[in-house]
Structure 1
Amino acid sequence: MENDLFNIKWDNTRVRQMSPLTLAFIGDAVYETFVRTYLVNKYRNMQVHNLHVEAIKFVKAHSQSEIIKKLEKKLSNEELYFFKRGRNAKSATTPKNADVQEYRFATGFEALVGFLYLTGEVDRLNFLFESIIMLKNKGEF
């Protein structure tokens, strides 16, 4: 069914034709959902404001930039391709709370997440998300 968006899987050719900023748009939402779900699971009784404060630590450009720098060596050639497309994309917006390099790396990270999500690479997304949790627990971002 075309409207079954939770079970969508696009082929690589179709995803390669997408703008890297569109991939980042999707990846941002997927990553935000992962972070929020993780935090609600970990801190079941935490107030929403405090959950939001914790989520910011994961999703701000600086954190995403640090995350992708640490995970870059674990990426396949195809994953690196999508990360670099996102990193090198010319955005019409300018970062408010990050420098341009951090913002670009964060955009690349989000494009990678968007690619993995749209192509149905759930196991790979889970691997990356678990790696991110380990990095956070070690205090590496």
Structure 2
Amino acid sequence: MSQFEQNQPLFSFSPNKEPNLLNPLVLAYLGDAIYDTYIRMYLISRSHHKPNHLHHEATKFVSAKAQAQYLKIWLPHLSEEEQDIVRRGRNAKSASIPKNADVLDYRHSTAFECLIGYLYYKQQHDRLSQLLKMIIDDYEKRI
């Protein structure tokens, strides 16, 4: 019986192998979606809901440059295991780099997304929430 037929909760799929064995770009792919959803939910929880404003604010969080900066905030707080995942994500060879992103920022943003994907798949939701809260706290200090 498939997960669809078992009436499983949303996002209940498990990887077909251990998360630390997945390609770091696959983890970054997941991490990008999780992070984007988290930021959108945060912004919607605030009072200003005009779509243009939401999009403008979201770019402060989700650009390669912003994610690279947030990774720097996280680095002193990461365990050895988390640092290893960050290294794997940073060193992953992507087929392309966006035109509007610096190569170093892009690699660090990939590492950032890779760690998010890894923690999500490991079901370390408390740890992931703790790290994501650091981003929100930093943002709210600046507004």
> Which TM-score applies when normalising by structure 1?
0.89
Please point out which of 21, 24, 35 is paired with 1:20: 24
2:60, 2:45 → 1: CA distance? 16
> 1:9 Cα shift?
5.4
The answer on whether the counterparts of 1:10 and 1:118 sit within 8 Å (CA) in structure 2 is: yes
Paired residue for 1:32? 36
Paired residue for 1:60? 63
Asked if residue 7 in structure 1 is aligned to residue 12 in structure 2, the reply is yes
The answer on whether the counterparts of 1:86 and 1:108 sit within 8 Å (CA) in structure 2 is: yes
> Which TM-score applies when normalising by structure 2?
0.88
Aligned length: 138
Q: What amino acid sits opposite 2:18 in the alignment?
A: R
1:126, 1:2 → 2: CA distance? 26
2:58, 2:69 → 1: CA distance? 15
1:20, 1:95 → 2: CA distance? 18
Asked if residue 123 in structure 1 is aligned to residue 126 in structure 2, the reply is yes
Deviations 1:76-124 (A, max 9, x none): 1111111110111000011222210000000000000000111111101
The answer on whether the counterparts of 1:10 and 1:120 sit within 8 Å (CA) in structure 2 is: no
> 1:2 Cα shift?
3.7
Q: What amino acid sits opposite 2:12 in the alignment?
A: N
Q: What amino acid sits opposite 1:25 in the alignment?
A: Y
1:41, 1:14 → 2: CA distance? 34
1:49, 1:93 → 2: CA distance? 28
Instruction: Say if 1:97 and 1:41 are closer, same or farther in 2 by CA, change over 3 A.
Output: same
The answer on whether the counterparts of 1:62 and 1:103 sit within 8 Å (CA) in structure 2 is: yes
- Whose RCO is larger (CA < 8 A, sep 6+)? 1
Bigger CA radius of gyration: 2
Paired residue for 1:77? 80
1:6, 1:92 → 2: CA distance? 28
Q: What amino acid sits opposite 1:58 in the alignment?
A: F
Asked if residue 108 in structure 1 is aligned to residue 111 in structure 2, the reply is yes
Deviates more, 1:130-139 or 1:82-91: 130-139
Identity of aligned residues (%): 42
Q: Which runs of 4+ in 1 moved over 4 A?
A: 8-11
